[in-house]
Structure 1
Amino acid sequence: MNNLVNFIIESGISLSLLSLIYILFLRKETFFRLNRIFLLISVLFSMLLPFLKFRIYHPKSILLEEVTVTPYRNLVEAVTIYGQDLSGAVIQTISSSRIIIFIYLGGLLCFLARLVLRLIQISILIYGNPVRQIGGVKFVHVNKKFSPFSFLGYIFLNPEKRREPGYEKIVAHEMEHIKQGHSIDVLILEIMTIIQWFNPFMWILKRVIRENHEFLADRAVLNSGISTAQYKQLLLSQAVGFQFEMANNFNTSMVKNRIKMISQIRSSKFANLKFVLGILTAAALVVAFACEQKESIATEISSEKENPQLQLTLQDDKIMLNGADADIKKVEEMLSRGKLVLTKDSLGRSYISIEKEDIPKVLDEEEQIFFIVEDMPEFPGGDLALRKFIASTIKYPDTAIENGIQGKVYVTFVVTKEGEIANAKIARGVNPVLDKEAIRVVNMQPRWRPGYQRGQAVNVSYTVPINFVLQ
């Protein structure tokens, strides 16, 4: 779900910014072909942006030369911990809100149904009326009063309009839509509208692209020899009947803008420099989104909040717990490990955490430690549960965030014969602040199921990489 939300947000922001640049700086220019290219690239770029990944910074770790981390089977998959930022907070909030997700999916299904319905309507017109092919273009003769329109390789028109002045120019206009492949643009826009239906800039972008299609077709017809005055009169004289929004209509509500653009003085070549704004914006979006690190485990953690959340209330100088029995037992287990500590985060929110008072367990030197055994130890719930435990328990130190400290810390520990954690130490560190937090969390692990060799419980060594990343 996080990946979907990330795609919707990043593509939506990209569409909004690029649309804004077009509306403010390029819409009134007469570079219609360049404008079309800019708009189409804006749509395609916005669709691809969330999938782009570039790493421009590689955190450097301090390797302790006397320790070698070997790729044994008991090297746990790395757990990535992110410093909380606005982007991550927004994505996690949306992902965890079922109401927002249901509203979005409801809108998506409605607009998908609308697209399917319009395609069915056009198919009915094609198969329910006479079709004649002339020079690679298929003409569908519909005996209804409506504005001629084109879609893919079809032109839909009323044959009775042949006797009206300017009929040939109307057909020429629609043929230009077909020659230039405008229907492909329209279909791409319809698909993006389904995904970005809530984004007002998507609707604006959809309108300006269709508007640009009309400008391109108008210019082609004018270049064929008709006078500007005659063509303006033709635009004004067309009666409006029913229209398909998904198709290219000759007579649309944007007639006023088309007439204005026909009279527009052609833009100077220096106006091409305005397209540089789009390139700079795209580059900025790549740096902002494609070069950031993406969260990978947050979805797994946040998606399993089906049980009622644990609630704490103050009553008669006591703290009362309300919630699932499993959560209350977990709190009881945590309290048995140490003392309560009140802490605050950067937003001023208060938290009660457990500070272990007991000294980490250390095995005697003569104790035998295995790396691989017949029956490996198991964290309660498996490796995924271990990664979730670390991700939910660890806290990115504020000092490290303020100083921009990040990197991967390797922690080795031993699962004893009794399933306890012992001999936790840093195998490869980055910074004392991050190392200390990694050790703290590893020592807080609950009891494992011990490993067995030849039917006897034995001590087994494990290594877990914890990757601290600042976005």
Structure 2
Amino acid sequence: MITYLIEFALLHLLFYLVYKLMLSQETQLKFLRFFLLGSTVLALIVPILEIPAPSEAVFVNLATSVYPTFEINPTGSNFSSWSWIEITMLALSCLFALKFVSGIIQIAAYYNKSVEKHINGITVREIPKLETSFTFFQWIFIDSSHFENPEDIIQHELGHAKKLHTLDMVFFHLLTIPFWWLPSIWLMIKELKKVHEFEADEFALKVNDKTYAKTLVQCTLRAHGMNLASSFDDAPIFNRLNFMKKMKKKISIWKVASVTALVAISGAMFACEDELESEIKRIADESNQQIDYSADVKAALDELKQQNPNTEYVVVETSLDNEASIEKLNSYDPGQIAKIFVTKEGDHKRVVMIVSQDSELFNKTVEVQESDPTNEVFTIVEKAASFPGGIDAFNEYISQNLSYPEQAQQLGVEGRVFIKFIVEKDGSLSNLEVVRGIGAGCDQAALDMMKNSPKWNPGEQRGHKIRQKLIQNILFKLPS
């Protein structure tokens, strides 16, 4: 949840800056309104999307598996699952929710005390002594006696109703309930109100452009309680009057293209999973004993198993930089190779082959592996590495050696930490690395716990100990 909030906030702020710097002075009102609404919806959706990042086929030199998730909960009587930060944020969200509801109730009260009236064929809700006019969906509230030219005001309000501006405001004010703390939400509301007013002005000008500007000035001066001499240079009035003059100006194509590209790129950057996260998800969805094949190799292996269900296949791979292995493989009969691939790992190319276990090639591959343990030929793991005593013993070790960091408890941080490591041939752990974490001390706590682990039982292949890469998934969970 915290990751989502951060990504939404960054995206929404970025979109607001794009609007302010590149679009706020434009006059294509439909496009401006679409951008303000669409970019906000996009910022809400993008953080929950997962677009796999494009990458070249890579074959991992180690058998890889994911150990079952272990859940760690806070202990101790001094812990409260609700930190003061969470309580404050929730309380303020409740206040904004009450404000939203009270606004709806107030409008309903206006409706109940209003009287339906028809002016120039337009239905309005007449309320005596109403100082201003406003629209809520299709209801136009006004005291027509309060204005010198009420027809102009009604046309303006009718523009709000026809263009469904209330829907925009309801949407954004609902967002202020959970996101009251995000400045770009309030700034976008301010910009959207301007666009709404300009759209309503545009609608009213089509009916009566001779008196509308004068009515606009008179209403603003009356609202400010000022006379003409002291307040005619009121900035918002000049903005609206100037906008009326340049309303037909089109937005430049390069600006539309630039904004579209910026939004698309920024959205893709937040939505794309990084390579390590994609690896974790793929491995987690597969068997705990599944070697980490590239997609094309796995598809070919599955196809061969379907075509020949009684034949056991094995995947063999080596680096093209390993001249001894390449020379050896070149001496094999190509007819014994079911499938062959060339993949790329950084600047190094590798050969990946699928052969049957009873073939001469498979036996020669094992001989190469036994005679030269430093070469890079690896095969499927028959027996995966394991913690002494099994899963239950490992869970017991974690529960005794891993505590929920106090910082994470106070900040309300929870989620999964993935630790990648290698079980060496002697059972020791090496290359420990947090491949995805949640911060607030949880990543380091989980990493330290794994570093202090006793030796494991190494993985085995055809009776030989091998190095195996594992990923441990630890879930830090606060009490509900």
**TM-score, with structure 2 as normaliser:** 0.53
Look up the match of 1:267: 249
Structure 2 counterpart SS, 1:76: strand
Letter in 2 for 1:219: E
Structure 2 counterpart SS, 1:433: strand
Q: Does 1:234 align with 2:215?
A: yes
Provide structure 1 residue ranges, at least 5 long, that are not aligned to the other structure. Answer: 81-95, 243-251, 296-368, 393-405, 414-422, 427-431, 449-462
Look up the match of 2:25: 28
- Aligned to 1:114, which of 91, 94, 99? 99
Distance 1:117 1:256, change over 3 A: farther
Q: Does 1:255 align with 2:269?
A: no
Deviation at 1:384, TM superposition (A): 8.5
Structure 1 counterpart SS, 2:93: helix
- Aligned to 1:176, which of 124, 146, 159? 159
Matches within 5 A, 1:261-300: 261-264=243-246, 266-269=248-251, 271-292=252-273
Structure 1 counterpart SS, 2:223: coil
Deviation at 1:50, TM superposition (A): 1.6
Look up the match of 1:126: 111
Distance 1:265 1:220, change over 3 A: closer
| Distance in structure 1 (CA, Å) of the matches to 2:197 and 2:264 | 30
Question: Quick check: 203-212 or 253-262, which moved more?
Answer: 253-262
| Distance in structure 1 (CA, Å) of the matches to 2:451 and 2:11 | 44
Whether the 8 Å contact between 1:215 and 1:261 is mirrored in structure 2 is yes
Look up the match of 1:218: 201
Matches within 5 A, 1:73-112: 76-77=67-68, 98-112=83-97
Deviation at 1:132, TM superposition (A): 5.5
Deviation at 1:138, TM superposition (A): 5.7
Structure 2 counterpart SS, 1:212: helix
Provide structure 2 residue ranges, at least 5 long, that are not aligned to the other structure. Answer: 72-80, 226-233, 278-382, 406-417, 436-445, 457-467, 474-480
Structure 1 counterpart SS, 2:176: helix
| Distance in structure 1 (CA, Å) of the matches to 2:235 and 2:254 | 31
Structure 2 counterpart SS, 1:197: coil
Whether the 8 Å contact between 2:68 and 2:472 is mirrored in structure 1 is no
Structure 2 counterpart SS, 1:194: coil
Q: Does 1:465 align with 2:470?
A: yes
Structure 2 counterpart SS, 1:201: helix
Distance 1:176 1:22, change over 3 A: same
Letter in 2 for 1:77: P
| Distance in structure 1 (CA, Å) of the matches to 2:470 and 2:96 | 45
| Distance in structure 2 (CA, Å) of the matches to 1:467 and 1:61 | 20
| Distance in structure 2 (CA, Å) of the matches to 1:119 and 1:370 | 62
Deviation at 1:378, TM superposition (A): 1.9
| Distance in structure 2 (CA, Å) of the matches to 1:382 and 1:145 | 71
Look up the match of 1:378: 392
- Aligned to 1:41, which of 28, 38, 43? 38
**Two-structure CA RMSD over aligned residues (Å):** 4.7
Look up the match of 1:358: none
Distance 1:157 1:441, change over 3 A: closer
- Aligned to 1:154, which of 139, 148, 159? 139
Whether the 8 Å contact between 1:60 and 1:407 is mirrored in structure 2 is no
Deviation at 1:241, TM superposition (A): 9.1
Distance 1:222 1:137, change over 3 A: closer
| Distance in structure 2 (CA, Å) of the matches to 1:389 and 1:103 | 30
Matches within 5 A, 1:44-59: 44-56=41-53
Deviations 1:199-247 (A, max 9, x none): 32222211110100111111121122422xx2211001123399xxxxx
Distance 1:440 1:129, change over 3 A: closer
Deviation at 1:31, TM superposition (A): 0.8
Deviation at 1:445, TM superposition (A): 4.1
- Aligned to 2:431, which of 430, 433, 452? 433
